[in-house]
Structure 1
Amino acid sequence: MSATEPGRGTPSVSPDPREVVAALVARARAAQQAYERYGQAQVDEVVTAAAWAVVEPSRSRELAEIAVRDTGLGNVEDKVRKNRRKTMGLLRDLRAARSVGVIAEYPEKGIVEIARPVGVVGAIVPSTNPAATPINKIMNALKGRNAVIVSPSPKGLSTCTRLIELVHAELDRVGAPRDLVLQLPAPVTKALTEELMRQVDLVVVTGSQGNVRGAYASGTPAIGVGTGNVPVIIDADADLDDAAAKIAASKTFDNATSCSSENNLVILDAVYRPALGALERAGGALLAAEEKARLRQAMWAQGKLSPAVVAQSAPDIARAAGLARPALAHARFLMVEETGIGKDHPFSREKLSPVLTVYRAKDFDDAFEITRRLLLNQGAGHSCGIHTRNDEHVMRLGLELPVCRVIVNQAHAFATGGSFDNGLPFSLSMGCGTWGGNSISDNLNYRHFLNITRIARTIPPDEPTEDELFGAYLRKYSDK
């Protein structure tokens, strides 16, 4: 493809995406081959250096300001906290993890496990978290002695570019190759991203399902994540004020840019009105039927979720919908009551904004069924939450719902991606298992960036007899 340069009569030839990506991959591969010789202590120092590029307070704020300015999504103060908290949490997870040489030994099985790099990683990242998500993938990749090439979204390009400049400065400080962390050049086109997926050794994708499907179709081993549409049950025995405070904090954080923020509340009839009261005290505003209709028109004017409302504040969304009730100018989040689920009921889907859909359930069985239908409508495999004191209800969700995470009595957006008070790995990429069309069902973490070689030695034979394996079965069914 060619184009005529301004002021000139001769056409300029656009770079071939294959050649652009091949040059980047060659640089990354050379750096990775040198890095592969690092010991565990050296690797951990490199990972710490990359983390400091974001955690250092002035840099965290700078990246947050660039992100909000250029993407128009979220708010600066929450992004500052997110950049710091997610990176600090991940570094805590990685600090004691073994990722070089022998990482596990099982003498009784004669097995020794050895960590090996996957090579060059292609990291596809979204505009919603243009600093926190890339640094998460960069740190995980570096922990495994890999190189990584980032493909940012167009809106997030400036943030990601500055992030990688800061990472390079820290790599210089510890004497590690800069080419361990690279980025596609601007403009980041679909053709460049698709070519990156084809040429690297592993693709990790967070963002649109189009990119996830493209990664799976690239012919390269790929890890993608699914769509969120989190339903949360408020049980009859829940601490309503505690639940409301946590839901409000989660739903309003960074204007709900997280796929893990609550989208639907399923409240049992026995506590429905008191729960709504607690949510209103926490800053929620319940819309009347006419207001709900106007909000729906604003949010899905063209039949799909409008970018004009994504990750905006509740008052801004209310104004965009022409809702002038004074209380809405100070609301932290908006609530709409709903009974329907499916394509004709868009409030039953992911909203990526501080808007909560509220369902009323007759009892827990009904709440379970509503939650199941919501997940099958959108968000299968991702996660659900519950505020309850009933462990049987918690276990039923885990045993029967198509979700990879059940979050109990916590602020969902903070807990799902790992927290200092739960045991989930810190991550911004949640695998959704086969329910969500993904190859992983856990939070993306450093082990997904490793090849593992296993040494097998002989052990005393453990060969069962036929009777040990089939005796009970044959005796039980001998007459049938």
Structure 2
Amino acid sequence: MTPVESIVERGQIAQQKYEQYTQAQVNLVVEAVAWAILEPKRNQELAELAVQDTGLGDVADKFKKNFRKTLGLIRDLSTAKTVGVIFENLKTGLTEYARPVGVVAAITPSTNPGATPINKILNALKCRNAVVVAPSPKGHSTCARLLEFIHQQLDLVNAPRDLVQMLPFPITKDSTNELMRLADLVVATGSQANIRAAYSSGTPAFGVGAGNVLAIIDEHADLNGAAAKITQSKIFDNATSCSSENGVVICADVYSGAIQALENAGGVMLDEADKKRLEGVMFQGGKLTSTLTAQYPSVIAERAQLQNPKAKEAKFLMVEEDSFGSCAPFSGEKLSPVLTVWKAADFKAAQDLVTHVYDYQGNGHSVGLHTALSGDVMEKRAATLAENLKVARVIVNQAHTIATGGSFENGLPFSLSMGCGTWGKNNFSDNMNYRHYLNITRVVRPIPERVPKVEDLLKDYFARFPQA
């Protein structure tokens, strides 16, 4: 038996015991495991370890992310029913029972080595599953420490430790692939290579699409408010999130004012020479390198040898672009505090430009819209984007990174894994949530027969095309 086979077998044994828990017992386990990362001292240690070992992001922002994402998820889970009857309709004779899926393989990225594993773990446990985490190699140490805290909490509530396990070090593609083959469900977040591996593992899988989020600032926007939200979002955790704005499309009527607002908020616009210097380090052969991923602007300025003296003091850097696609690498995802800026003639032109950029990279994820704060303008513009762009979310007048994965100020489920639908080559377009970790069994009872008449169901057709 291989080490991975042994881990999965132990998970199966623990899950079979856990499946007998009542809803109250499950809820207690979930609350206990949540405290493993919500407790401030443990959270701080995990945040520091994450940045130390991955070299990505910001400790204070990691702390905030670990706390807010977990707190929000626990809020979502607190009222969810995942044991026994979860739906009943006597009129249709249907009753639905929540059932676990078994052992979940949780594939997690280096960008969020604490927040993403705990999110998947809590969702899995809420649905009476066991879970085995496959962290990125860089995120291994953070995940291992998190599991030490989780096991302490499981001991406290007398739940099996083997409900939550991880792959042993060193993390390899072979061990991760073996885990995915042996598990009952794969939930994958990270590189598109990992997502493709999950989908081809032979195990049912949920995987997420690529980022490259753009935001539109239209002629009705509160420019200072938009700039403040974009800045808050862009610089959070040094743009590790797939929901971080990679570009902003600004309507021409307010372009100069919007640029000024972004500069006032801490952005620094690079000239063409510095843009070329940055491109030479950030992209190799038109493809994004990891050299500048999730680094501070000061580090980026130094590594790219930028000449603008303000670059080292910037909150984020900006480059102007007038094209898209492989000929314009800055139109793609950057995973760093670098923001691409386009000028569009009007809102329709802005929408068209987003379409072209997303066809290159980013279809399915999300788009941001900064417009009038309320009223018909806001509703019509949001509706236009929702009906025409290949996106699963239209985020209106919010800091995109904060809002897309669920926020206390919107109604999306808290998550660190955003489905992008078929546009992003995913099989779902929701924020990944506990319902993706459930099987549902339906009891189907007989009801009085109701057979409709053909002429009633096809009445509109027959009215237009009378049959001979």
Sort the TM-score into its range (normalised by shorter chain): over 0.9
Counterpart of 2:442 in 1: which secondary structure? strand
Contact 2:286 2:329 in 1 (8 A): no
What are the residue-to-residue correspondences of 1:107-256 with 2, within 5 Å?
107-256=90-239
CA drift of 1:326 comes to: 2.3
Contact 2:274 2:307 in 1 (8 A): no
1:51 maps to which of 22, 34, 38: 34
2-side partners of 1:341 and 1:472: how far apart?
46
1:81 maps to which of 53, 58, 64: 64
Amino acid at match of 2:423: W
Structure 1 unpaired stretches of 5+ = 1-17
1-side partners of 2:37 and 2:287: how far apart?
34
Give the match for residue 28 of structure 1: 11
2:416 maps to which of 409, 428, 431: 428
Q: Which shows bigger deviation, 246-255 or 368-377?
A: 368-377
What are the residue-to-residue correspondences of 1:89-108 with 2, within 5 Å?
89-108=72-91
Q: State the percentage of identical aligned residues.
A: 59
Q: Say whether 1:418 aligns with 2:401.
A: no
2:266 maps to which of 277, 283, 286: 283
Spell out structure 1 runs of 4+ moving beyond 3 A.
Answer: none
Alignment RMSD (CA, Å): 1.1
Give the match for residue 70 of structure 1: 53
1:409 maps to which of 397, 401, 421: 397
CA drift of 1:303 comes to: 4.0
CA drift of 1:302 comes to: 5.2
CA drift of 1:479 comes to: 7.5
Give the match for residue 6 of structure 1: none
Contact 2:270 2:308 in 1 (8 A): no
1-side partners of 2:39 and 2:190: how far apart?
26
CA drift of 1:323 comes to: 1.2
Q: Say whether 1:61 aligns with 2:44.
A: yes
| Deviation per residue, 1:33-55 (Å, 9 max, x gap) | 00000000110111111110001
Give the match for residue 395 of structure 1: 383
What are the residue-to-residue correspondences of 1:242-321 with 2, within 5 Å?
242-301=225-284, 303-321=286-304
2-side partners of 1:450 and 1:479: how far apart?
48
Give the match for residue 451 of structure 1: 439
2-side partners of 1:339 and 1:324: how far apart?
22
| Deviation per residue, 1:151-200 (Å, 9 max, x gap) | 01000000000001100000000110000000000111111000001000
Give the match for residue 332 of structure 1: 315
Give the match for residue 472 of structure 1: 460
2-side partners of 1:102 and 1:66: how far apart?
42
Amino acid at match of 2:429: S
Q: Which shows bigger deviation, 293-302 or 153-162?
A: 293-302
Contact 2:27 2:78 in 1 (8 A): yes
Change (3 A) 1:273 1:182: same
Amino acid at match of 1:458: P
2-side partners of 1:343 and 1:89: how far apart?
38
Q: Which shows bigger deviation, 415-424 or 100-109?
A: 100-109
2-side partners of 1:267 and 1:217: how far apart?
40
Counterpart of 1:307 in 2: which secondary structure? coil
Amino acid at match of 1:397: L
CA drift of 1:478 comes to: 2.6
1-side partners of 2:201 and 2:404: how far apart?
29
CA drift of 1:469 comes to: 1.4
2-side partners of 1:339 and 1:465: how far apart?
59
Contact 2:249 2:342 in 1 (8 A): yes
| Deviation per residue, 1:205-233 (Å, 9 max, x gap) | 00011111111111100000000000100
2-side partners of 1:141 and 1:76: how far apart?
27
Give the match for residue 365 of structure 1: 348
2-side partners of 1:455 and 1:368: how far apart?
47
Q: TM-score, normalised by structure 2?
A: 0.98
Q: TM-score, normalised by structure 1?
A: 0.95
Contact 2:286 2:326 in 1 (8 A): no
